[in-house]
Structure 1
């Protein structure tokens, strides 16, 4: 059983090879949590620093990444947003053109109400510790009451198992109380201006129904007794999906109120997924594994990707082509017949997200910041940039 999370824990274990990128690349346990409240620093190199995710909101593009960095762009050059935290940010999602949320390390959730120009912390890991401890203590008390009132041995056995699960979570929380908050949130989904869902390490699953003023633990909605990491949440309308560690795959058809455990197509970690223009479900993860489902995850078809690199994110183009990115500059194009064209960005960089910005033009994020296709950098320039950063 895993009881704590160090800076080399989960967040980009999937994305940045076998380790997670800490704030400063440090491999020791973080004891200084000033990054939670310290504002993001202004930098003229921000476009080439680590960026994790990019999204389109109306005419605007917004990207998030290391040190609390958030960039936005409409017609002109990229601008740096005003952000009151400097943790590594892991995801961004908008409910409309003005309201959006971002998640990050140390249990941080931030919110914007001006389209991404400025962001304020709504939640952090210290609050998460208190919230989860209160939740699991109440859950154990309720389960024990049910055990005492039941004469059905089978029911009692199941309830006792749930008590053990909750006690395991309490053990994790007690460690966090001593060492400080270390759980990162890994992804989020904005249903509307008041409702959002956030997922993360060790099965953490929260929701808000009041625009982020308060958050509730809903981890019990998923069948995840081992507390595996939840890596990605996405979907369309009321059809939502969660992908995670050890092949975890869940589906909801009621906007996240209830969840079904899918028969996963792969027992290794799944890092991302998306739903295409035809409602097909695409998922991908470790060692080049990628799959598509035409029946909302009941059955999957394996995609012959022709690669063994980790795959982290994807999208659908206007023309219906699927784009999937991963390690070593890998960009996969998958056509309607599931034929794969494997491209390599000259940077050779780990890429963490991709977005079509116009016909045949794509924007990627990753270890090297913002990258473009067609590429705006040669292999020689990429090598010089990498050597200069060492």
Structure 2
């Protein structure tokens, strides 16, 4: 894979304001295993790039191999045992206990205890920068990243094979986020306004005409089945027909939008750079807030009782209710 400042993760740089023949995958050579993540008293204040819910817990991943976990709605956080000190970019759980995290160096970590302890499950050949991971069940999963890196596993992450997404010029694009919908479709948010959809578990992909030109950083499905993609210049685009057509939603900001959360009541919370928080209720218009700290936000997630937690440049914290 090519190496340059660009591969230092376009999205990570934005959010944190810092800093194939078959690709075989297997346990990393012990001589090449990075040092484990250092224990830090303020681990929850390390720049965070990914945040998910695992049963009654919240789990966040970020810089220096840091993973922190909260079981009290995000009030307090405990640092997990992690065998690498690389930048981790994304995390996903398939149930309350089993989850995966990915990051720089092609590392794939796995946990079976809800995120308290992690093992290095695989290191992909050529060590691509991985930006997103998603499992549809305990065996079938996907990892995607910079310069078109895309992989699939059928055995719970023990072995990974390359997955073709784009072709021609599109084959080299950063693939920023992968997610699935309740009807089994897979969606990929990518560079230059492109998105991809698969209806056959990743065997083939269709390029979608989104109508926007800037990079798309993230996506989600709302409770009513609407698919939403988020991107540069304050772009929120939505599709009610499975990605065949898209409508641009007004946001009132030109800041990049990085993560969204569909609420049980039909509402939506979107976060992004410059302290941007967008909220809507019952499918209504998005209302813009700017946090006083102006920190770049990379992720948002709801705890079991509904408390909302955001993560980004300054770590993890609970989001104040809308005024």
TM normalised by structure 2 equals: 0.88
8 Å Cα contact 1:36-1:87 kept in structure 2: no
Aligned to 2:98: 99
Aligned-pair CA distance for 1:236: 2.2
Aligned to 2:58: 61
The structure 1 residue matched to 2:231, chosen from 281, 285, 307, is 285
Distance in 2 separating the partners of 1:106 and 1:39? 14
Higher relative contact order (CA 8 A, sep 6+): 2
8 Å Cα contact 1:9-1:20 kept in structure 2: no
User: Which structure: larger Rg?
Assistant: 1
- Aligned counterparts, 1:226-241, within 5 A: 226=170, 227-237=172-182, 238-241=184-187
Aligned-pair CA distance for 1:319: 1.1
Distance in 2 separating the partners of 1:51 and 1:106? 17
TM normalised by structure 1 equals: 0.74
Aligned-pair CA distance for 1:250: 0.7
Change (3 A) 1:36 1:347: farther
Distance in 1 separating the partners of 2:98 and 2:64? 22
- Stretches of structure 2 that go unaligned for 5 or more consecutive residues are 20-30
- Aligned counterparts, 1:1-390, within 5 A: 4-6=2-4, 8-17=5-14, 21-22=18-19, 37-75=34-72, 77-124=76-123, 127-129=124-126, 181=127, 183-218=128-163, 220-223=164-167, 225-226=169-170, 227-237=172-182, 238-357=184-303, 361-374=307-320
Distance in 2 separating the partners of 1:344 and 1:354? 15
Aligned-pair CA distance for 1:305: 0.5
Aligned to 2:27: none
Aligned-pair CA distance for 1:58: 1.0
- Stretches of structure 1 that go unaligned for 5 or more consecutive residues are 23-33, 130-180, 376-390
Distance in 2 separating the partners of 1:324 and 1:249? 19
Query: Which segment drifts farther, 41-50 or 252-261?
Result: 252-261
Distance in 2 separating the partners of 1:210 and 1:255? 14
Q: Which protein has the bigger helix share?
A: 1
Partner secondary structure for residue 14 of structure 1: helix
Distance in 2 separating the partners of 1:103 and 1:36? 15
Aligned-pair CA distance for 1:12: 4.3
Q: Which protein has the bigger strand share?
A: 2
The CA deviation string for residues 249-295 of structure 1, in whole angstroms up to 9 with x for no partner, is 11122332322111122121100110000110101111111111101
Aligned-pair CA distance for 1:17: 3.4
